[in-house]
Structure 1
């Protein structure tokens, strides 16, 4: 734990009366997650994300009200807590669990998509391009020619998204629905994680994340993809807007690795490969490494 995170965690816990003795780092990425005594998980957001943290807690409360299995914000405390410009939130720790399967993702997002769009929760509209321009700028291991092309590609996708073809009715979407954000607990629940992208938008956005694992990368068999479609009740690849949402999702995946490559040399080769694929130098299915 960095001294910065340690100080923020200590101050936040003191404010709400929680014990942070022997806090254990779970994950350090865009957000820092810590396991506290008593089955509590603390999440420290990036600086400047207090409003987003407030929104995520409210979304979790709304899902709980509708009995949708999802991460639960700790009750009976005022949160998020603001410390040094960071929003700190507290959550009930999940029981032992594993990553979900594509079939479990389909079931979870079907339940979410069937909910009525609330009028009293600050969901906002889906923002598929959030932070992509910043990630291109931060992709220091790519060539300037690559970054120029990526900026032009991003602008093209933004223009195309403004004319997204009609599809399924807009609804509450998770925003980042993949097997890493859906887990199956040992007590039999399928639980949604990471609610910060939850918003109102085309349900196809949540479906594309699984579809491209089959169509773009061959990480998912045809049989497993068909099972996913059957459980959800729709095959997004048959929709006129599929290629556009596929291209946006692939760009997000490529830029996540490209940004990481600036600090993690192991990701540099993968970042270059993903950019080359986006630029049409390889044919799908692409040989991307599933996780870095």
Structure 2
């Protein structure tokens, strides 16, 4: 559990800080209780708000994973929830708490979802259905897509993002074998993907690992963590939902999937209405998402040692912003994923999946 939220001078008690911000916004009247939730993520503190009507969850940013100033970060996340919730598989947005003296990075108020963590592989069909619904939403015109990231060439944008993160490989204390393997995989990423079905951008989560889903009593999968949505290729989400580096990240949903289970997940997504997509393109997206995860691990291993950003603006992976148990878990996962044996394991799985998913 955590009851704190970062601020320029110290960590304020989230109860008092949030109560002040809610009162300032005129939203405190029907809130009966506030309960800090477990500190399970590096980007937000969460507080459950019991209300006379539908309960809310307050999402209080520790940082901006998109590297945005506080106001822009809130606008970006608000757009994520407003758009993805139209699928029926994401919480609704109710209010935005602007940055202020109590909450330097502000916060969002979204519908509270009562559900349990995903259990793999049993809940993979529900997750596939949720992603198909999000990917199937009507795509806005280019002029209406901001503030969400909407690159003209999503594949090129992904390659560039991975390359920027890869600059941290030399600073992360990797073994020679691990670095050589990762750099070899990076060099083999195709510069272009085949044109054809499924290459038009759609709304994607870009953070669809199983730990970000809750399963309701009716069996519906709800994606509750939305801050990195963009208009891109659905293959990135499908990869993030089923890669070894995703399914073993969260303690509550930890599982190792077989290539056959992963292939079945892709097929279920297609049957659930996911955009028709070329298998070669889907697997290229899977490799790119894996490399994004590995290079992020290298980046985090280096940057979490820094002092927190006292300006409370932009990206900040400082260990000062999260509790010790969460940090120990992240260190363990990062070290595991950057080990040569695990890198080889995921690379071999990609080759097996190419056979299992072959059309």
Q: Distance in 2 between matches of 1:8 and 1:135?
A: 37
Gaps of 5+ in 2: 5-10, 64-68, 249-254, 306-318, 320-326, 350-359
Q: 1:99 to 1:155 in 2, by over 3 A?
A: closer
CA deviation profile, 1:52-73 (whole Å, cap 9, x unmatched): 3212223322344x45221111
Q: Which moved more, 1:263-272 or 1:196-205?
A: 263-272
| Matched residue, 2:20 | 11
| Matched residue, 2:43 | 30
| Matched residue, 2:292 | 252
| Matched residue, 2:314 | none
Q: Distance in 2 between matches of 1:87 and 1:285?
A: 44
Q: Distance in 2 between matches of 1:138 and 1:41?
A: 39
| Matched residue, 2:168 | 136
| Matched residue, 1:224 | 261
Q: Distance in 2 between matches of 1:69 and 1:270?
A: 28
What TM-score comes out, normalization by structure 1 length?
0.73
Deviation at 1:239, TM superposition (A): 0.7
Q: Which moved more, 1:202-211 or 1:34-43?
A: 202-211
Report the 3-state secondary structure (helix = DSSP H, G, I; strand = E; otherwise coil) of the residue aligned with 2:12.
Answer: helix
1:71 and 1:92 in contact (8 A); partners too: yes
Match of 1:275 among 323, 329, 338: 338
| Matched residue, 1:186 | 217
Deviation at 1:94, TM superposition (A): 0.8
Q: Distance in 2 between matches of 1:109 and 1:87?
A: 28
Q: 1:280 to 1:35 in 2, by over 3 A?
A: closer
Q: Distance in 2 between matches of 1:62 and 1:186?
A: 24
Aligned residues: 276
Q: Please state if 1:62 is matched with 2:83.
A: yes
Point out which structure has higher relative CO (alpha carbons under 8 A, 6+ apart): 2
Report the 3-state secondary structure (helix = DSSP H, G, I; strand = E; otherwise coil) of the residue aligned with 2:109.
Answer: strand
Q: Please state if 1:91 is matched with 2:103.
A: no
What TM-score comes out, normalization by structure 2 length?
0.61
Q: 1:232 to 1:154 in 2, by over 3 A?
A: same
Report the 3-state secondary structure (helix = DSSP H, G, I; strand = E; otherwise coil) of the residue aligned with 1:43.
Answer: strand
CA deviation profile, 1:267-290 (whole Å, cap 9, x unmatched): 65654443343997667458xxxx
Q: What is the Cα-based RMSD across aligned positions, in Å?
A: 4.2
1:207 and 1:236 in contact (8 A); partners too: no
Q: 1:34 to 1:161 in 2, by over 3 A?
A: farther
